[in-house]
Chain A
Amino acid sequence: MKEYFLQSLHTVQNFGGNGLLLLYFAVALIYLLVREKDKGIRKLLGGFPLAMICLFFIPVVPFVICSMLGENETFYRFLWLIPMTLISAYATILFLEHVKFKWLKALLGVIAMICVAIGGNPGYQAPVTYPAENIYQVPQQLVELCDYMVVPGREVKAVFPHELVPFVRQYTSFIVMPYGYETMVERWTFTNDLEKEMIKDTSDAGELARLAREDRCHYIVLNKGHQVSGLLEDYDYNPVFETENYAVYLDKFADVSEW
């Protein structure tokens, strides 16, 4: 049972980041419990979240959710049931309502917003974001690569470097792949020999060609910066197209004509 309590604790730690917005929420919750005059709102936005927090830490709850419902990876989502934004925003306004002077109210309001800005992180600077390069919001070079490879009315099979794998089938369903994003998530334990060869520090051209051919790949797409020992041309994969960072090799024996 101790491990489930610790799991809850870790989940909260991971959820809360630097903890400052959680602290803001905790202060807001206490303020709401103390100062809210409407008993109903106090129960729903004060007592209810408090009960949810307590439930979250009772070991039997993570046990049921993680072990029985199989929600191990997504246990953090139960923290969504505590309306932190709603409570923090409401309590802030509740507090400002009690300030008599308008200028002081405005000043405190600005200070509250600055606290949130300092304690939080702007989503627009998240590491997962980048300036969109096209209307599809997938890398532009992927669009160029796919547009070159797609044959109207049929599918072609291609192997891509890791950084492009998640985007391919967001852009086109006419290119199939020997492996997809599922192999990139270690904890999912999907493996593929071709993928293992593709992500080696130095891939072997002969092995790449053999495995790609075994998987019936028409094309191999390689990052130009990726080290390959030997030449794919020696194994009948010839360079046919390139973009700024990627090169496309086509199996000499593959038929990629229109059906």
Chain B
Amino acid sequence: MLTTIILGILWLLVVPFGLGIFPSKMLKKEYRSPGLILLIGYLILMGLFECVYLPFLLLGIRFDMLCLLFRLLSGILSLASVIFGMKDFKSFTLPKKNIWLILFAVLVAVQCVARWFQGVTDGDDAYFLGTALNAYTSKTMYYLDAYTGMATGLDMRHALSAGGIFLAFLSNCIKLHPAITAHIVYADILLILHYICFYHIGRLLFPDKEENAGLFGCMVCVFDVFGYISIFTPAAFLLTRTWQGKSVIANICIPFVFYLLLLMLRDDVTGKQFRTKRLFFAVFSFVVLAASLCMAGTGPTLLLPLLGVGALVVALHRKKISVFAVTIPTLLFAAVFVVLLAVLK
């Protein structure tokens, strides 16, 4: 238990946070916060995992080798990010305490605790957790049928996305059964990341009135908790299938794209600072796309129109076509995967 807690703090908190420190330097001090650093750290971790996982899968290398290499890679990168970002480590802005922020934090904490006591009957879990458990115990990836455990051929359409393998990696890191990792630990982390994302969207929407960001967070909580109007809404996914890749796309990746677009919409910097912000936008457009692909194959299909049209809207409004131009490589990358999915259907 103690080992799991220590490993959990290291791999689920310290490493992702470290990964986020260096890239966050591209943002102005008032936009940088510990929460945002953790969020972008996780997106990097997910995106990077997808990039490393795909060659391993295609070359048929075992899952434990992937874990070993990726632990090494993410650990080194996290350490490097901390070392190179150390200079500005303390230059981030902590949210100012206000009643709405406190209420928001309480509402999020209640949801995190509620998650521990809620079981869910969801068929997709049979595939998602089955895949994770297969990798965790058999050390193979997608060569055992997730539903039955019998040997099977590689289903490339599903295997294109790391999905359950990323969960198996986290389980492997913290030495915890994938079902417990998914339902208890990972689900709470994702819930927190979801609300961190929305809180920062609130900060961008109300730059002159920070308490409104807390109020905005509270409103989002209310919409999420009562958002189970059908099984298809992002809120339904958030509350009942938090740990599944599709939920991460709906509740973290897509809102984060809106965060990026709102960030570029703000006419707050010029010259070199604008170019740095644009670089952040370009880099994280790609990172969030890779993270969405890591979560589910449908990620690029959704993010392609969102990023493309969204960046165009912002570029036209700001009269800076470069805002759109920097996303073109990401859009092309997404388009390749969309075509690949169409071919593999």
Instruction: State the A residues within 8 Å of B (CB).
Output: 14-18, 20-22, 39-41, 43-44, 47-48, 51-52, 65, 68-71, 74, 76-81, 83-86, 88-90, 92-93, 97, 112-113, 116-117, 119-126, 128-133, 135-139, 155, 165-167, 169-182, 184-185
Of residues 48 to 102 in B, which have CB atoms within 8 Å of A's CB atoms?
none
Residues from chain B with a CB closer than 8 A to the CB of A78 are 302
Tell yes or no: B254 within 8 A of A by CB. yes
Q: B220 near A89 (CB under 8 angstroms)?
A: yes
Q: B238 near A123 (CB under 8 angstroms)?
A: yes
Q: Which of B117, B212, B220 contacts A131 (CB 8 A)?
A: B117
Contacts known (A77-B298, A138-B119, A169-B126); A93 close to B219, Cβ less than 8 A: yes
Q: B177 near A136 (CB under 8 angstroms)?
A: yes
Q: A81 near B127 (CB under 8 angstroms)?
A: no
Contacts known (A123-B228, A124-B225); A81 close to B239, Cβ less than 8 A: no
Interface string of B231-248 (1 = CB under 8 A from A): 111111011100000100
Query: For the complex, what is the distance from the CA of A88 to the CA of B212, rounded to whole Å?
Result: 14
Tell yes or no: B44 within 8 A of A by CB. no
Q: B301 near A69 (CB under 8 angstroms)?
A: yes
Q: A74 near B298 (CB under 8 angstroms)?
A: yes
Contacts known (A77-B246, A165-B126, A177-B149); A71 close to B301, Cβ less than 8 A: yes
Tell yes or no: B146 within 8 A of A by CB. yes
Of residues 329 to 345 in B, which have CB atoms within 8 Å of A's CB atoms?
338, 341-342, 345
Q: Which of A40, A85, A165 has the most CB of B within 10 A?
A: A85
Residues from chain B with a CB closer than 8 A to the CB of A17 are 229-230
User: What 6 pairs across the A-B complex have the smallest Cβ distances?
Assistant: A180-B147, A123-B239, A70-B345, A120-B226, A17-B229, A176-B149
Q: Which of B120, B180, B184, B314 contacts A128 (CB 8 A)?
A: B120
Task: Determine the residue in chain A with the shortest Cβ distance to B312.
Answer: A48
Q: A171 near B179 (CB under 8 angstroms)?
A: yes
Query: For the complex, what is the distance from the CA of A118 to the CA of B240, rounded to whole Å?
Result: 20
Residues from chain B with a CB closer than 8 A to the CB of A22 are 229
Give me 5 A-to-B residue pairs in the complex whose CB atoms sit less than 8 angstroms apart, sorted by A's number: A40-B267, A69-B341, A93-B215, A112-B219, A132-B116
Residues from chain A with a CB closer than 8 A to the CB of B302 are 77-78, 80-81
Residues from chain B with a CB closer than 8 A to the CB of A112 are 219
Q: A181 near B147 (CB under 8 angstroms)?
A: yes
